[in-house]
Structure 1
Amino acid sequence: MPETVPVRCPACRREHVYAAPSYPCACGAPLAPPLDRRAAPVPVAHRVWDEDWITVRCASCGRRDQWPRPELGCPCGTVLRIAVTNTPPQGTTRDAHPAPARPPFEPVAIRTARDAVTDAALYLRWLGCEDIRRADQRPPSGIGLAARGLLAQVDPAARPASLRDVECLWLTAMTDSAACAYFSLTGYADDARACADALGIPLFVLDLTGAARPVNGPAEELHAARA
């Protein structure tokens, strides 16, 4: 059962019960951020990338990774940041045997642009990418993510990604001597897909469940190599 804590919205005083999300660690063990029952939730006024992620240690294998900071959206419109502790999650021990196979990717539902970025980052981590962070250079559209040896673009726009979008990502990745991948919520223009196929750029479409669907050959190869 996921850990739950009572949460009261400081804006409208509504009472909620928040359940901590669970994500698969690279070792296969379920991992959830440890919630702090004593600390009050904090309304989110401004987004800062570094504050949207926390470091959580897996009690099964000891690995430390960054995961989305727990948040709750109140019906009044207030977004609440749920406090966490610095202790490892309960229910597993460091001596436990890790799962022998990679677990399936577990997305989070997409309701906002931030959710799309979170899902893309989680998917990249599931693929085995390390040191995922906000890219230093902002792309012409969407949000850039950087990992070790990889540059990714997440495009939550309500239009298909264009040829220029794909070309700009490729040129930026070439400058950094990195591979690249593109995530879109609404697909790709025909010439953008043709360009990506020619350059070997993996293209993914994020559906509203958060699942990342490969839509060209390079993306299918990347997914199959890690599945």
Structure 2
Amino acid sequence: MRVMSESVSVRCPACRREHVYTVPAYPCECGAPVAPRLAPAGTAAAVAHRTWDDEWISVRCTACGHDGEWPRPELGCPCGAVLRVPLARTDAGGEPAPPPKAAARRAFQPITIRTARDAVTAAAVYLRWLGYRDIRRADQRPTSGVGIAAHGLLAHVDPTVRPATLRDVECLWLTAMTESTACVYFSLSGYAPDARARADSLGVPLFVLDLTGTPQPVNALADELDATGA
């Protein structure tokens, strides 16, 4: 199943430049591509302050009816402004189609990583592909990186250029223990040797996010999670 990419003209409110924006499609957990609907006659707004709730939207898959959380469409203008692309009011509306009766897990479709935000999106898409539900920002924010949570899981996404340390892994594990959940770590730059050893002893799956957005298992626990899913 293919989704036609929708394009709209977007005017920057700061410098008045006109841009053509093509909305990206993301893979639903059923394997079908999903894209938010845009408002061709809407007015773009410049992003002044960011909050987690404002950066994610609910979009319904027309193939299976699942409401997924996806990044809100944005566009960078050469003048420096970040524009929030206007959306149609029916993003998550419409009648859901009957869910597939027995679908095997589809091949993972990665999100290319160009920014720290892309790394968080890639990890969230991967967790959804594994079968985790209700993905959201974690209640407790880590001192570095971004914490995301799902039902029964706490994940840490580290988009920095340094390898994750033993302390990083232990902090994630301790936070997960206080919330009685499992945990998983995603890093762009790998792990220090003692961090990998400690993760094995604590039962923490470790993944490295390559720039294609595909999580690569680092330890046996991550291999098992990748193979079996949630």
TM-score by length of 1: 0.91
Preserved CA contact (<8 Å) 2:164 2:195: yes
**Equivalent in the alignment of 1:167:** 170
After TM superposition, the structure 1 stretch with the greater mean CA deviation from structure 2, 6-15 or 187-196, is: 6-15
SS at match of 2:54: helix
Partner deviation per Cα, 1:151-192 (whole Å, 9 max, x = no partner): 001111111000000001001111111000001111100000
In structure 2, runs of 5+ residues without a counterpart are none
Pick one of 35, 39, 58 that aligns with 1:36. 39
Q: Does residue 48 of structure 2 align to residue 48 of structure 1?
A: no
After TM superposition, the structure 1 stretch with the greater mean CA deviation from structure 2, 6-15 or 186-195, is: 6-15
Partner deviation per Cα, 1:1-32 (whole Å, 9 max, x = no partner): 31111112222332221111111212222111
Preserved CA contact (<8 Å) 1:196 1:203: yes
Partner deviation per Cα, 1:33-83 (whole Å, 9 max, x = no partner): 111111111111111000101111112222112111111122222211111
Preserved CA contact (<8 Å) 1:58 1:88: no
Distance in 2 between residues matched to 1:57 and 1:150, nearest whole Å: 23
Offset at residue 101 of structure 1 (A): 3.2
Aligned runs of 1:105-124 on 2, under 5 Å?
A: 105-124=108-127
1:125 to 1:93, Cα distance in 2 relative to 1, 3 A: closer
Give the counterpart letter for 1:30 in structure 2.
P
**Equivalent in the alignment of 1:14:** 17
Alignment root-mean-square deviation, CA: 2.2
Offset at residue 105 of structure 1 (A): 2.2
**Equivalent in the alignment of 1:131:** 134
Give 4+ residue runs of structure 1 displaced > 4 Å after superposition: 95-99
Preserved CA contact (<8 Å) 2:153 2:183: yes
TM-score by length of 2: 0.90
1:99 to 1:40, Cα distance in 2 relative to 1, 3 A: farther
Task: Count residues in correspondence.
Answer: 226
SS at match of 1:224: helix
SS at match of 1:80: strand
Distance in 1 between residues matched to 2:96 and 2:65, nearest whole Å: 9
Pick one of 89, 94, 97 that aligns with 2:97. 94
Pick one of 187, 202, 212 that aligns with 1:209. 212
Give the counterpart letter for 1:177 in structure 2.
S
In structure 1, runs of 5+ residues without a counterpart are none
